[in-house]
């Protein structure tokens, strides 16, 4: 719509596409097509085109913003084979200001019978030369999707490995950036990428889909059907990647959000990250419920193993669930329950368990260890989330695949893992660069249960904090508060235990007591992938600013023009010079500011800063 981004499709000598941005080719000619079982590959087409311009607005109250603009130009290309069979394949493409997407439409003219088996997605994603990129690598198109996004030349991936979504490509040192992913996945296996036949002049990426477990190709489905959208997020600068809306825009909406009015985002205590809850019992669960209640948090998550394994309908010998449930009700704290996924594989198991949990008043389920993204698993996700909605249960998937816009259809899928989160600090150390890479990579796809909230903060190259047996976080205390603000998750699970948080508080729990988990607006401010990141958010009349940096200290500048008229009380949670030696050190101060002011944001190494702007009481 703003004329900067162009998609070109040609049918000869083979069906292919290319992408141009401000007149420069950023995706070079790349193959299109699919291969169906017992069918010859599609080749040599005539085509008919239809154009559509669309500009609409819609709202979604459970995420990083409420208002969305769905503005695109669309082309529907009907490709008719020149051979005697006259088979038809349709390609639907939409170009937005922040990216583009296309998908294949398969109907009865595409296949000789209504059922089809997809053997191969022939789509390629090709780039000039060997550009710098950020991507995760896996031994195959499956798994738990919790690896680092590392900065590498795009051709550096080993021949036997695949890349997960998103792959973020820096086209040139000046930009733009292209992030490759998918959306609205219904009946095909999940998308990965593999290099093939690359050379000095071009890097060729091929689509690789997670195969069906039963061996029937990549997808078994019935026409009419649509493939997932192949999505290209295009941004002039890295920071603009975080403002994309295309993944949600191309995803199928719910018929109405009225049936989901029961969904309540919020903050949660969590008992697993800290070693203080190794021996789960009725009393240990009550401790976390008490803490959540004392902080005004809406939830407490009861993790593994609360139930009498494999019986998920009753507590273990040490956990009296009837007592726990009533105690939480009295404290006005809702509960999440952890489950191993294979305890609720069938619809009968779901009905039996979910109806009991609704009777108990359980708020949601943390379902774990799926570790797959094949068609059968994608369909199981859909069944589980829809069944949970019948019983007014929220879902937090762990051991999960990446977000793909499905939450627009089913917003009770409130968050998920598919991220190398804070739990890795229990047995290793997350790198400072990792924290500053996630906002531009995994987090552009959707919410993530990163579980911030470590109050034992240390530097990456520093020793453990003595006197504690619990897990410890990497980065400064101000950094830890900042990621709680910067990393989207409508259910925000705070990882540390009550004993540590209360002892090490230093005034920081007040920040968590007032922290929203969904927002009216969110905007990237400035940053570079792996180096630093800053963001503005708005909730009601209040503004929130957060910034983090990697191993390098830096100073940023924040003009306050976004505040508008009037005076605001700014509460600042910042690093101090002492933070360099003790990452727990933090300075909290309050000052009166207005839109004419500019603040200096000083970040120590592995540091951060958050600022809460509230209109003064006189306004």
Confidence of residue 466 (pLDDT cuts 50, 70, 90): very high
Residue 278 has pLDDT above 80, yes or no: no
Calculate what percentage of the chain has a pLDDT beyond 70.
99
Summarize the confidence of residues 182-193 as an average pLDDT: 97
Cα–Cα–Cα angle for 165, 90, 12, rounded to 5 degrees = 90
Confidence of residue 12 (pLDDT cuts 50, 70, 90): confident
Summarize the confidence of residues 432-453 as an average pLDDT: 98
Summarize the confidence of residues 494-510 as an average pLDDT: 97
> What are phi and psi for residue 191, nearest 5 degrees?
-90, 135
Residue 619 has pLDDT above 60, yes or no: no
- pLDDT digits over 36-85, tens only? 998 888 888 999 999 999 999 999 999 999 999 999 999 999 999 988 77
Residue 346 has pLDDT above 60, yes or no: yes
Residue 276 has pLDDT above 60, yes or no: no
Return the closest-CA partner of residue 193 out of 182, 184, 202: 182
Confidence of residue 277 (pLDDT cuts 50, 70, 90): low
Confidence of residue 275 (pLDDT cuts 50, 70, 90): low
Residues 265, 441 contacting (CB under 8 angstroms): no
pLDDT for position 29: 97
Q: Which residue has the higher pLDDT, 218 or 159?
A: 218
pLDDT for position 109: 85
> What are phi and psi for residue 29, nearest 5 degrees?
-45, 125
- pLDDT digits over 380-430, tens only? 999 999 999 999 999 999 999 999 999 999 999 999 999 999 999 999 999
Average pLDDT, the chain: 96
Using left for φ > 0, alpha for ψ between -120 and 50, and beta otherwise, residue 410 falls in: beta
pLDDT for position 40: 83
- pTM greater than the 0.85 cutoff: yes
Which ranges constitute the DSSP H helices of 391-508?
432-437, 477-486, 498-503
- Before 228, cis peptide (omega within 30)? no
Confidence of residue 301 (pLDDT cuts 50, 70, 90): very high
């Amino acid at each position: 719509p703003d004329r900067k981004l162009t998609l070109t499709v040609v049918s000869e000598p083979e069906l292919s596409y290319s992408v141009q941005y401000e007149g420069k080719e950023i995706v070079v000619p790349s193959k299109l097509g699919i291969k169906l079982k017992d069918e010859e590959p599609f080749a040599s087409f005539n085509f008919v085109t239809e154009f559509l311009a669309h500009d609409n607005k819609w709202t979604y109250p459970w995420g990083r913003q409420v208002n969305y603009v769905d503005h695109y130009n669309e082309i529907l290309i009907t490709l008719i084979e020149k051979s005697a069979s006259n088979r038809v394949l349709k390609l639907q493409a939409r170009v937005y200001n922040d990216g583009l997407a296309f998908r294949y439409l398969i109907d009865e003219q595409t296949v000789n019978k209504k059922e089809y088996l997809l053997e191969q997605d022939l789509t390629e994603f090709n780039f000039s030369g060997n550009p710098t990129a950020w991507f995760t690598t896996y031994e195959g198109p499956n798994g738990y999707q919790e690896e680092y996004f590392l900065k590498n030349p795009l051709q550096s991936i080993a021949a036997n490995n695949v890349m997960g979504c998103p792959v973020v490509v820096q086209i040139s040192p000046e930009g733009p950036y292209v992030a490759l992913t998918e959306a609205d996945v219904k009946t095909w296996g999940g998308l990965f990428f593999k290099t093939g036949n690359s050379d000095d002049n071009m890097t060729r990426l091929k689509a690789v889909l997670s195969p069906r477990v039963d061996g029937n190709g990549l997808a078994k489905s019935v026409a009419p059907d649509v493939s997932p959208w192949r999505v290209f997020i295009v941004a002039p600068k890295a920071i603009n990647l975080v403002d994309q809306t295309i993944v949600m825009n191309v995803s199928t909406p719910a018929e109405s959000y009225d049936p989901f009015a029961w969904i309540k985002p919020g903050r949660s205590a969590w008992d697993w990250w800290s070693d203080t809850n190794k021996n789960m019992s009725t009393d240990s669960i009550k401790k976390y419920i008490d803490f959540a209640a004392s902080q005004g948090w809406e939830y407490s998550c009861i993790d593994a193993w609360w139930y009498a394994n494999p019986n998920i309908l009753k507590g273990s010998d040490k956990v009296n669930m009837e007592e726990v449930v009533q105690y939480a009700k009295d404290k006005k704290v809702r509960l999440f329950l952890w489950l191993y996924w294979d305890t609720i594989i069938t619809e009968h198991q779901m009905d039996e368990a979910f109806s009991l949990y609704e009777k108990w008043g359980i708020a949601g389920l943390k379902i774990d260890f799926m570790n797959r993204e094949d068609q059968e698993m994608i369909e199981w996700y859909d069944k589980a989330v829809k069944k949970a909605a019948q019983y007014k249960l929220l879902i937090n998937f762990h051991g999960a695949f990446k977000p793909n816009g499905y939450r627009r259809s089913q917003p009770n899928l409130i968050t998920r893992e598919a991220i190398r989160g804070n739990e890795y600090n229990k047995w290793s150390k997350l790198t400072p660069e990792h924290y500053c890479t996630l906002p531009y990579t995994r987090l552009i796809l959707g919410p993530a249960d990163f579980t911030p909230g470590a109050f034992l903060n240390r530097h990456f190259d520093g020793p453990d904090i003595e006197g504690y047996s619990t897990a410890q976080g990497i980065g400064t205390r101000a950094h830890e508060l900042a990621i709680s603000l910067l990393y989207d998750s409508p259910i925000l699970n705070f990882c540390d235990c009550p004993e540590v948080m209360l002892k090490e508080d230093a005034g920081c729990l007040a920040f968590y007591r007032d922290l929203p988990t969904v927002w009216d607006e969110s905007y990237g401010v400035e940053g570079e992938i792996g180096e630093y990141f800053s963001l503005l958010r708005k909730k009601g009349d209040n503004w929130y600013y957060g910034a983090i940096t990697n191993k390098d200290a830096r100073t940023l500048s924040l003009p306050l023009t976004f505040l508008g008229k009037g005076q605001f009380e700014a509460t600042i949670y910042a690093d101090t010079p002492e933070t360099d030696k003790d990452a727990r050190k933090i300075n909290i101060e309050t000052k009166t500011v207005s839109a004419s002011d500019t603040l200096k944001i000083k970040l120590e190494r592995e540091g951060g800063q958050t600022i809460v702007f509230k209109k003064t009481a006189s306004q």
